[in-house]
Amino acid sequence: MAKTALVTGILGQDGPYLAKLLLEKGYKVYGMMRRYSKPNYEHLDYLGITDKVDFVEGDLNDEASLINLVRNLRPEEVYNLAAQSFVGSSWDQAKLTAEINALGVLYLLNAIKFFSPTTKFYQASTSEMFGLGNTNGYQDEKTSFHPRSPYGISKVYAYWMTINFRESYGIFTCNGVLFNHESPLRGIQFVTRKISDGVARIKLGLSKELRLGNLESKRDWGFAGDYVEAMYLMLQQEKPDDYVVGTGVNHSVKEFVEEAFKVVGIDDWHKYVVVDPRFKRPAEVPDLKANAAKAKKILGWQPKISFPELVKLMVEADLKRYEAKK
C-alpha cells in the first residue's frame, strides 16, 4: 500500500517541490488548497505533476475543515507548509498572520491529536524566528529567538506548539527551521525573485529600473528543491526532533543583485537599481547564516545547488518566461 501524505500550501513554492519528491517515492499525495473560483496550478504545471496530486479543500483558518480532512484521510504524514509567508506584509496584517501561522497550526495539531494520533507532523518553521539571535555569527538549534516581525512571532508560537504536542501527547512532530530557499517558483514579492524577474525585464528592454529596499541585509539562500528533501528525511527518522536547515554561507541583497546582473552580462548594475524606502521594513533581520551540522550528521542532508548556480537558475527561468511570451 502506498504511503499517504497531506501537504498544505500545495500551490505555493515548496508544496510543489515536496509533492514531486513524495510522488517519486511512491506516495499518494493529498494537496490542500483554499477554495478558489479559479485555482492557479501554474507551479504544479511547471513541475509536471498537476494530474498526479489529489486536491482537497481546507483552510488553516477553518478548524472544522482541518478536522474533516485529518479524520477522513488519516494520512501517515502531514507537511504543514501553508502560511502567510511574506514577512513584509505581516506588519499590516498581523492578526491574519497570527491566525493562519499560529492558531492554524494549533487547529491542525488538535485534529491529529483527536482523530489520527499516529500521523507524523512536519511544521515549516523558519530562520526568521532567530531575528537578532546568533551564536558566534551563525544560528543553530540552540540559538535564542529574537523575532523582528509579526511573521516571525507567529512562527515562534507554532514552533513551540509543535514541540508541546510532542512532549504532552507523544505525537511525532518535527520543526524544520529552514533558512531562505528560492527557486523559479518563488513568489514575486520576495527579494530574490523580484531581482531575477527585474533583471530579466531590464535585459529584454521591458523595464529601466529595479526598485529595492535594504541592500545590506544578508541571507543564507539555498534552492527549494534541496530543502524539501530535509523535510521528508525528518519524518523518516526513528525519533521526532527539530533541525536547522541552510547552506552555512550567506550573501547580502547587493551581492544577489550583482550576481544576477552578471548572468545577463551587465556590469554597471548601479545604473538600474533604485533604493526605495517603501520596501524597507520597520525592523530588519540583518544577518542570517545557518549552522546545519545536526541536519548533516543525523539526516545526512546537504545542499546541492550553490549560490551562483541558484541565481543563474532563477534569472534564466525568468528570461525564458518572457521570451516565451514574445
Catalytic (active-site) positions: 126, 128, 151
Q: Which of ligand GDD, ligand NAP, none does 100 bind, CB closer than 5 to 8 A by kind?
A: ligand NAP
Residue from the set 22, 44, 60, 314 that interacts with ligand NAP by CB under 6 A: 60
For Cα atoms 54, 15, 56, give the angle at the middle one, nearest 5 degrees. Answer: 30
Q: Which of ligand NAP, ligand GDD, none does 59 bind, CB closer than 5 to 8 A by kind?
A: ligand NAP
Residues in contact with ligand NAP, shown as a per-residue x/- string from 87 to 126 under the rule CB under 6 A: -------------x-----------------------x-x
Contact 35, 59 (CB under 8 A): yes
Q: Which of ligand NAP, ligand GDD, none does 214 bind, CB closer than 5 to 8 A by kind?
A: ligand GDD
Task: Give the bridge partners for 7, in sequence order.
Answer: 31, 79
Contact 38, 246 (CB under 8 A): no
CB of 283 to ligand NAP, least distance (A): 18
CB of 244 to ligand NAP, least distance (A): 11
Task: Give the bridge partners for 251, in sequence order.
Answer: 219
34 part of the interface to ligand NAP, by CB under 6 A: yes
Q: Which of ligand NAP, ligand GDD, none does 260 bind, CB closer than 5 to 8 A by kind?
A: none
Task: Give the bridge partners for 275, in sequence order.
Answer: 212
CB-wise, 4 or 13, nearer to ligand GDD? 13
* H or E element that contains 28: strand 28-33
- Report how far residue 261's alpha carbon sits from residue 316's, in angstroms, rounded to the nearest whole number: 11
Residue nearest to ligand NAP (CB): 12
Task: Give the bridge partners for 32, in sequence order.
Answer: 8, 56
- Report how far residue 304's alpha carbon sits from residue 236's, in angstroms, rounded to the nearest whole number: 20
CB of 75 to ligand GDD, least distance (A): 24
Q: 240: closest CA among 23, 77, 18?
A: 77
At 30, is the secondary structure helix, strand, or coil? strand
Report the half-sphere exposure of 29 (CA within 13 A, side-chain side).
27
CB-wise, 87 or 153, nearer to ligand GDD? 87
53-61, 167-175, 201-209, 274-282 -> range binding ligand NAP (CB under 6 A):
53-61
**Which residues contact ligand GDD (rule: CB under 6 A)?**
85, 87-88, 126-128, 179-180, 189-192, 194, 212-214, 217, 219, 253, 279, 281, 284, 288
Please tell me what DSSP assigns to residue 127. G
Residue from the set 163, 178, 253, 315 that interacts with ligand NAP by CB under 6 A: 178
How far lies 222's CA from each of 2, 194, 204, 226, 271, in Å?
Answer: 30, 16, 26, 8, 28
**Chain residues that interact with ligand NAP, rule: CB under 6 A:** 8-9, 11-15, 34, 59-61, 81-85, 100, 124, 126, 178, 180-181, 187
